[in-house]
């Protein structure tokens, strides 16, 4: 194998595929990046859950392949001057890396032992902008469960139906739902994607209108961004039927400024230290005003915000973290918050449309 490419393009590719390289594995080959020169120059990372491959623009002099330790390869390319890099495999799997006056010889591993990525047919996929998927992930990922006892909830439900794409995460205390229209024809899809996969994809996606195509087959999903492809296994099992928990019944509704609400809850939670996590923040809603309070061994906080209020007065307690997680990812300046009863869950929605729903369970007194 012999290839010449720019350090900049190579590094970009390495940074992407490294997101799928294991750091905790007993198999040295999985700590490596697969380099392949065929009709193009391709890098692959694969931890057997997520696989990422990336094509790097290059001048291929000799076909071939090798696996090289990801950390060392990345560190070397990162430290090279911004110039042309030559990569060549010599006898005994020694990888030569040359750039200006630097010459590296690194021991590689034969590529035969490297696990191939699952092949997914590019059929019945749907296209959407990378920016939208990035936002949809950001706005639902935080509600994914970390409880391995209910593995299905460690993923996000990705549903495509009737021209609409929906992401839903639930961890038993809260729900995060985000939907978006899909242009053009698309097949129905209903899969649960591991939270870890979505986390890594969100880092790779460009906050721009570049397109991504999503395909699924068997228990795998493929995110195709052109030069870069991410394959992931799916979580198996039945996702919670969340629809029944979203109702439009409410006793109290407020319209509130998102940032003011977030800042006040953040301040009220400052005295809830890690030793005092059992303490809630309380909302007292009356007279077009919400009073947010907390009280712990450290002291007490009281915050007041003017709101537009409908319905009954209400006094209710919540885990502040669940509110902060949701409010932080909402871009809308103003939101509507619906409370069913003083013990029931609360629902956060946009003022105008239905593009997101956050459901948060109340804390019992």
Q: Does 299 bind a copy of itself (CB under 8 A)?
A: yes
75 part of the interface to a copy of itself, by CB under 8 A = yes
One residue of 70, 129, 252, 264 binding a copy of itself per CB under 8 A:
264
Asked if residue 5 binds a copy of itself (CB under 8 A), the reply is no
Own/partner contacts of 237-242, CB < 8 Å, gap of 24 or more, are 237/151, 237/152, 237/192, 238/152, 239/152, 239/157, 239/168, 239/170, 239/192, 240/152, 240/153, 240/170, 242/157, 242/168, 242/170, 242/175, 242/177
- b/e string for 194-225 if b means 16 or more Cβ within 10 A? bbbbbebbeebbeeeeeebebbbeeebbbbbb
Please report whether residue 304 would count as binding a copy of itself according to CB under 8 A. yes
DSSP string, 56-84: E--EEEE-EEEEEEHHHHHHHHHHS-SSE
Comparison of 241 and 274: residue with beta carbon closer to a copy of itself: 274
Structure tokens that stand for 5 in this block = 């490419």
Nearer to a copy of itself, 234 or 295 (CB): 295
Least Å distance, CB 290 to a copy of itself, is 11
Of 168, 170, 323, which Cα lies nearest the Cα of 258?
A: 323
Q: Which of residues 263, 284, 312, 342 is near a copy of itself by CB under 8 A?
A: 263
Stretch that binds a copy of itself, among 183-191, 210-218, 250-258, 259-267 (CB under 8 A): 259-267
Q: Is the dihedral of CA 98, 101, 105, 109 positive or negative?
A: negative
Q: What minimum distance in Å lies between the beta carbon of 24 and a copy of itself? A: 16
106: contact with a copy of itself by CB under 8 A: yes
Tell me the CB-side half-sphere exposure of residue 66, using CA atoms within 13 A. Answer: 24
Q: Would you say how long the chain is, in residues?
A: 365
Q: Interface with a copy of itself includes 314 (CB under 8 A)?
A: no
Site size with a copy of itself, rule: CB under 8 A? 32
Q: Are 51 and 30 in contact (CB under 8 A)?
A: no
Distance set, CA 52 to CA 113, 225, 228, 250 (Å): 17, 11, 7, 45
State yes or no: residue 140 binds a copy of itself (CB under 8 A). Answer: no
Q: Locate 102 and state its tokens.
A: 């630097």
According to CB under 8 A, which one of 270, 286, 343, 351 is a site residue for a copy of itself?
Answer: 270
288 lies in the binding site for a copy of itself (CB under 8 A):
no
145 in Cβ contact with 171 (< 8 Å) = yes
Site for a copy of itself contains 305 (CB under 8 A): yes
Q: Which of 25, 62, 103, 237 binds a copy of itself (CB under 8 A)?
A: 103
Nearer to a copy of itself, 94 or 120 (CB): 94
**Interface residues for a copy of itself in 43-72 (CB under 8 A)?**
69, 72
Q: Shortest gap between Cβ of 93 and a copy of itself (angstroms)?
A: 11
Min dist CB 234 to a copy of itself, Å, is 36
Smallest separation (angstroms) from a copy of itself to the CB of 266: 6
Burial of 30 (0-12, 13-18, 19+ CB in 10 A): buried
Rg of the chain over Cα atoms, rounded to whole angstroms, equals: 25
> Residue 342, Cβ neighbours under 10 Å: how many?
17
Verify binding: residue 86, a copy of itself, rule CB under 8 A.
no
- Minimum distance of a copy of itself from residue 81's CB (angstroms): 7
Binding mask 10-39 for a copy of itself (x = CB under 8 A): ------------------------------
CB of 109: closest distance to a copy of itself in angstroms?
12
Determine, following the binding rule CB under 8 A, whether residue 303 of this chain makes contact with a copy of itself: yes
Asked if residue 223 lies in contact with residue 214, where contact means CB atoms within 8 angstroms, the answer is: yes
Q: Are 106 and 67 in contact (CB under 8 A)?
A: no
Query: Could you list the residues that contact a copy of itself (CB under 8 A)?
Result: 69, 72, 75-76, 79-81, 94-95, 101-107, 263-264, 266-267, 270-271, 273, 297-305
């Amino acid at each position: 194998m012999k290839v010449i490419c720019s350090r900049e393009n190579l590094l970009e590719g390495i940074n992407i595929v490294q997101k799928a390289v294991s750091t905790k594995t007993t198999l040295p080959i999985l700590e490596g990046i697969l380099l392949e020169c065929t009709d193009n120059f391709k890098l692959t990372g694969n931890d057997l859950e997520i696989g990422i491959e990336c094509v790097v623009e290059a001048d291929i002099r000799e076909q071939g392949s090798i696996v090289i330790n990801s950390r060392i390869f990345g560190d070397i390319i990162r430290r090279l001057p911004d110039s042309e890099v030559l990569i060549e495999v010599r006898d005994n799997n020694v990888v030569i890396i040359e750039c200006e006056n630097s010459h590296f010889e690194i021991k590689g591993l034969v590529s035969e032992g490297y696990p191939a990525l699952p092949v997914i047919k590019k059929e019945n996929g749907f296209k959407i902008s990378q920016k939208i998927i990035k936002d949809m992930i950001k706005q639902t990922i935080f509600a994914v469960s970390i409880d391995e006892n209910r593995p299905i909830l460690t993923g996000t439900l990705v549903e495509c139906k009737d021209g609409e794409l929906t992401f839903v995460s639930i961890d038993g205390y809260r729900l995060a739902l985000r939907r978006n229209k899909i242009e053009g024809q698309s097949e129905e899809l209903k899969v649960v994607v591991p939270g870890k996969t979505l986390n890594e994809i969100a880092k790779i996606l460009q906050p721009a209108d570049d397109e991504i195509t999503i395909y699924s087959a068997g228990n795998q999903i493929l995110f195709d961004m052109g030069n870069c492809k991410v394959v992931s296994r799916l979580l198996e099992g039945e996702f919670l039927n969340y629809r029944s928990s979203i109702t439009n019944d409410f006793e109290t509704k407020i319209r509130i400024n998102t940032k003011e609400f977030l800042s006040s809850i953040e301040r009220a939670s400052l005295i809830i230290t890690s030793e005092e996590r059992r303490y809630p923040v309380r909302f007292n809603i009356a007279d077009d005003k919400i009073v947010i309070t907390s009280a712990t061994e450290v002291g007490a906080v009281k915050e007041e915000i003017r709101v537009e209020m409908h319905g009954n007065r209400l006094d209710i307690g919540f885990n502040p973290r669940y509110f902060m997680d949701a409010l932080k990812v909402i871009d809308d300046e103003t939101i509507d918050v619906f409370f069913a009863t003083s013990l029931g869950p609360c629902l956060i929605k946009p003022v105008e449309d239905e593009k997101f729903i956050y459901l948060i369970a109340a804390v019992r007194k």
